[in-house]
């Protein structure tokens, strides 16, 4: 899903999450100083810094921040609190129709989910050449986000088979964060981590090639078999009938 190009969050969304830990008034060098997670996904540092500056202009144009002069910026909007609600209006501002669910879910992840390994916050990463959708701001742990409409089952549709198999031959996959959501109600019902080191090559299966005439004819996707793997829920039902108080 996420390996298809152009489907990750736009840069301005990523930068809006990048500046979140900074004080209300901050400087460009302070933004660069916390940009290492992005540098990991984009080894060309000049590219990253140019994109950050462009994104700050965009955030200013839409009224999220103000330029204060002498390289200072001020945040104009309070950070959104945690919720299972998915904000589609935020994504609609940037993305084409087909991107909206994907971008909205990644923005939801950035607001609501912490790194499963070190508890630091997750930063959504713009489209890159790696299997990487988010990276934690504490230790740079890598995460692939899979948005599933309904409740996810024991298989997961993966990226193109070739790059997935190559990546698995080189080392383990990033951790997977599976976000099951209800499209009608715009809420996340379950978010679970799967340890990337559990996703061994034997669990990867090729799908049949897309037939001629399809938009990406000949493209071979993949399926990951999750059967029997531990799932670490970070958002899910907490209802317990034994402790619930009835009116």
Question: Rule CB under 5 A: which residues touch Zn ion?
Answer: 115, 117-118, 136, 138-139, 141
Q: Report the residue number, 174 or 221, with the smaller CB distance to Zn ion.
A: 174
Per-residue CA distances from 166 to 8, 169, 201 (Å): 21, 5, 10
**Minimum CB–partner distance for residue 89 and Zn ion (Å):** 29
First to last CA, the chain: 44
CB burial string 113-129: b at 16+ within 10 A, e below? bebbeeebbbbbbbbbe
**Minimum CB–partner distance for residue 244 and Zn ion (Å):** 34
Q: Report the residue number, 19 or 136, with the smaller CB distance to Zn ion.
A: 136
**Minimum CB–partner distance for residue 118 and Zn ion (Å):** 3
Q: Report the residue number, 140 or 163, with the smaller CB distance to Zn ion.
A: 140
- In this structure, are residues 78 and 84 in contact, taking their beta carbons and an 8 Å threshold? no
- In this structure, are residues 160 and 222 in contact, taking their beta carbons and an 8 Å threshold? yes
Q: Report the residue number, 86 or 131, with the smaller CB distance to Zn ion.
A: 131
DSSP codes, 80-103: PPP-SB--HHHHHTTS-GGGHHHH
**Minimum CB–partner distance for residue 135 and Zn ion (Å):** 8
Which residues, 6+ apart, have CB-to-CB distance to 228 below 8 Å?
none
Q: Report the residue number, 122 or 188, with the smaller CB distance to Zn ion.
A: 122
Place of tokens 């009938």: 241
**Minimum CB–partner distance for residue 25 and Zn ion (Å):** 28
């Amino acid at each position: 899903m996420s390996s298809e190009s152009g489907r990750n969050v736009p840069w301005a969304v990523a930068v809006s999450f990048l500046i979140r830990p900074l004080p209300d008034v901050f400087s460009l060098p302070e933004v660069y100083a916390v940009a290492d997670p992005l540098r990991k996904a984009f080894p060309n540092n000049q590219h990253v810094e140019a994109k950050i500056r462009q994104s700050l202009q965009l955030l200013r144009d839409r009224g999220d921040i103000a330029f204060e002069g002498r390289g200072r910026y001020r945040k104009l909007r309070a950070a959104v609190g945690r919720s299972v609600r998915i904000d589609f209006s935020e994504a609609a501002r940037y993305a084409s129709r087909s991107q909206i669910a994907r971008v909205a879910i990644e923005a939801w992840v950035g607001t609501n989910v912490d790194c499963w390994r070190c508890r630091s916050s997750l930063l959504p990463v713009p489209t890159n050449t790696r299997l990487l959708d988010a990276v934690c701001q504490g230790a740079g742990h890598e995460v692939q986000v899979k948005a599933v409409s309904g409740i996810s089952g024991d298989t997961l549709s993966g990226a193109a088979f070739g790059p997935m198999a190559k990546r698995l031959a080189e080392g383990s996959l990033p951790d997977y964060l599976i976000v099951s959501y209800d499209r009608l109600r715009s809420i996340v019902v379950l978010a679970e981590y799967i340890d990337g080191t559990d996703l061994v090559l034997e669990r990867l299966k090729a799908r049949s090639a897309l037939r001629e005439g399809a938009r990406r004819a000949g493209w071979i996707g993949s399926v990951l078999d999750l059967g029997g793997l531990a799932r670490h829920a970070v958002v899910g039902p907490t209802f317990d009938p034994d402790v619930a108080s009835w009116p």
